[in-house]
Amino acid sequence: MTARTVKVIQAILANNDRAAEENRKAFEANGVLAINVIASPGAGKTSLIVRTLRALADKARVGVIEGDVAGQIDTEKVLQCGAHDAVQINTGGNCHLEAGMVRQALSRLALEQLDLVFIENVGNLICPTHWALGEHLTICVASAAEGHDKPVKYPEIFAKSDAVVLNKIDLIELVDFDRAFFQASLRALNPKAPLFELSCRTGQGVQAWVDWLQAQRLQG
């Protein structure tokens, strides 16, 4: 890359960080915990949000910002499943959400009526890692069906996540998944983040994730 390209990219990221800071202040002014959910396409981001919505039905008011290249399937789904409010962002080809997109979504979300907001990023294990959105927590969702080598191949997101969810463990015996390899390579990158092995399909393991999430909520 030329020096000019690098400068332009740095300016874009600096603008993004400023917008992310504004978003974070808006969340905190309303006592809302914001969670950036990052995963490959089809790892189960929406399914995890739906399971969490159900588990928190009478315990927390949850909003969802849905990021997709195209379509609004997920927004319809989370509204049907108990989200108090939801906004779709279509990036129109962009491979990640940016803070400015989230800021626009926030203008359509009743933050003062919410306790938690999930920001479901575009399905992509790489690019979303570099763009702060104003979140308090970054959660990486991996799927057992994707194989055990994901931390080795996509180290950045596993290194920076505040918690890692390994979804679809109901399939684990059917897909030659080496659990020890996955855990060891995750721990080499990120010694501390809790790992939740669960199945959004069967519900197995979901409660431990929900309990942990509840404990992260902002006070006041």
Stretch that binds a copy of itself, among 23-31, 78-86, 108-116, 152-160 (CB under 8 A): 152-160
Shortest distance in whole angstroms from residue 5 CB to a copy of itself: 5
Q: Does 156 bind a copy of itself (CB under 8 A)?
A: yes
Computed on alpha carbons and rounded to an integer, the radius of gyration of the chain in Å comes to 17
DSSP codes joined into one string, 61-115:
-EEEEEEESS--HHHHHHHHTT-SEEEEEE-TT-SS--HHHHHHHHTTS-GGG-S
Residue 167 bridge partners (DSSP): 143
Residues 6 or more apart whose CB falls under 8 angstroms from that of 73 comprise none
Q: Which of 13, 73, 184, 188 binds a copy of itself (CB under 8 A)?
A: 73
Q: Give 138's strand partners.
A: 36
Smaller CB separation from a copy of itself, 95 or 111 = 95
Contact status: 5 vs a copy of itself (CB under 8 A): yes
The angle at the Cα of 184, spanning 181 to 187, to the nearest 5 degrees, equals 145
Which of 79, 111, 152, 195 is the binder for a copy of itself (CB under 8 A)?
A: 152
Q: How many residues does the chain have?
A: 220
In angstroms, the CA 186 to CA 180 distance is 10
Q: Phi and psi of 68, rounded to 5°?
A: -145, 150
**The only residue of 41, 57, 203, 211 in contact with a copy of itself, by rule CB under 8 A:** 41
**Between 187 and 201, whose beta carbon lies closer to a copy of itself?**
201
Q: x/- site string to a copy of itself, residues 88 to 107, per CB under 8 A?
A: -----x-x------------
Taking CA 192 as the corner, what is the angle to CA 166 and CA 140, rounded to the nearest 5 degrees?
35
Of the candidate spans 28-36, 69-77, 81-89, 101-109, the one that interacts with a copy of itself by CB under 8 A turns out to be 69-77
Site for a copy of itself in 159-218 (CB under 8 A): 168, 170-171, 174-176, 201
Interface residues with a copy of itself (CB under 8 A) are 1, 4-5, 8, 12, 40-43, 68-71, 73, 93, 95, 122-127, 143, 145-147, 149-150, 152-156, 168, 170-171, 174-176, 201
